[in-house]
């Protein structure tokens, strides 16, 4: 009896140890530990003043600046107005990108002549830095939101267009041949075979396009802007307000993560089979 009890005790201990190891190896736990370590390093560096607060403000200073900005705003404007201004520009550009990049990308993948017409222009402007042609957009569209939305649109159009065109070309030819053999027309093949097959890569292209738009947001709000998160970060840099810069960066990063999570949530609901093949 004593041997059996000892074996059961060891077995239960092994299971508990295995359960703890599985818990610590979960991606969310690993991510949380990584963030906690980064925060502790930041807190330690600033507490010991290894770096000047002018260049790296402490978490306490950033938190106090966030509360002050939340209560009093920045440059006589509430914080929510800055967020709304940036998200409004981003939303308009994103809707325009959705309405043009995906259809043109799918058509380019299906019709080589369409791709031959569009590719030279897209490949020409895609590697260019946004500031290289932003001046032209300001001259053509003015200093209002039109030029800013156009800049964000161009930043997001190319990656989404390329993702859509590449997705069409990756569709197995046998899948299209089966649809044709069953009597499906070209329109039916496009809407019932090609488009659904491209959806996983389209969602990846959407996430990439949002990332490019976000990286261009500060550049879009550099010229003749008096609102927006990008403008707030840029204006704070002129006065060496590192705490405000960190506040703007954290807000922009948090909103970007929420948008990305929303896209992944929709993808998980609409494409539950992705990643399970």
> Rounded to the nearest 10 degrees, how much is the dihedral formed by the CA atoms of 83, 89, 93, 95?
70
Top mean pLDDT of 156-165, 191-200, 234-243 is at 156-165
Task: Please give the model's pTM, rounded to 2 decimal places.
Answer: 0.82
Q: Region 175-180: what's the mean pLDDT?
A: 87
Angle 196-27-258 (CA atoms, 0-180°, nearest 5)? 60
118/32: higher pLDDT: 118
Q: What are the structural domain ranges in the chain?
A: 2-50, 64-270
Q: Which of 264, 245, 226, 250 shows the shortest CA–CA distance to 86?
A: 226
Residue 34 confidence class, pLDDT cut points 50, 70, 90: confident
DSSP 8-state code for residue 275: T
Given phi > 0 = left and psi -120 to 50 = alpha, else beta, which region is 144? beta
| Best CATH choice for the domain 64-270 from the list 1.10.3720.10, 2.60.40.10, 3.40.50.300, 3.40.50.10880 | 1.10.3720.10
pLDDT at 26: 73
pLDDT digits 0-9 by tens, 69-128: 999 989 888 999 999 999 999 999 999 999 999 999 999 998 999 999 999 999 999 988
Angle 88-86-256 (CA atoms, 0-180°, nearest 5)? 100
Round to the nearest angstrom and report the end-to-end CA distance of the chain. 48
pLDDT digits 0-9 by tens, 206-250: 999 998 998 888 778 877 778 888 889 888 988 888 999 999 999
pLDDT at 90: 92
Q: What is the largest CA-CA distance in the chain?
A: 90
* CA–CA distance, 223 with 137 (Å, rounded to integer): 11
* CA–CA distance, 62 with 108 (Å, rounded to integer): 48
* CA–CA distance, 213 with 50 (Å, rounded to integer): 35
């Amino acid at each position: 009896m004593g041997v059996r009890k000892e074996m059961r005790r060891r077995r239960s201990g092994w299971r508990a140890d295995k359960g703890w190891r599985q818990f610590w190896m979960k991606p969310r736990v690993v991510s949380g530990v990584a963030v906690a370590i980064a925060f502790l390093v930041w807190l330690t560096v600033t507490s010991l003043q290894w770096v000047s607060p002018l260049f790296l403000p402490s978490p306490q200073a950033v938190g106090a600046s966030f509360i002050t900005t939340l209560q009093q705003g920045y440059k006589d404007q509430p914080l929510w107005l800055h967020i709304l201004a940036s998200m409004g520009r981003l939303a308009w550009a994103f809707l325009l990108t959705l309405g043009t990049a995906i259809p043109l990308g799918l058509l380019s993948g299906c019709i080589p002549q369409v791709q031959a017409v569009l590719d030279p222009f897209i490949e020409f402007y895609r590697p260019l830095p946004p500031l290289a042609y932003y001046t032209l957009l300001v001259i053509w569209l003015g200093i209002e939101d039109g030029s800013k939305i156009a800049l964000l649109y161009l930043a997001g159009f190319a990656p989404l267009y390329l993702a859509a065109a590449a997705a069409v070309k990756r569709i197995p030819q046998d899948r299209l041949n089966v649809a044709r053999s069953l009597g499906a027309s070209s329109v039916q093949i496009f809407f019932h075979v090609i488009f659904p097959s491209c959806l996983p890569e389209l969602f990846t292209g959407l996430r990439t396009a949002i990332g490019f738009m976000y990286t261009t947001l500060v550049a879009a709000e550099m010229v003749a802007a008096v609102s927006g998160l990008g403008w707030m970060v840029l204006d704070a840099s002129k006065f060496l307000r590192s705490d405000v810069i960190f506040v703007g960066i954290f807000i922009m990063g948090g909103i970007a993560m929420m948008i990305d999570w929303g896209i992944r949530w929709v993808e998980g609901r609409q494409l539950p089979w992705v990643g399970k093949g």
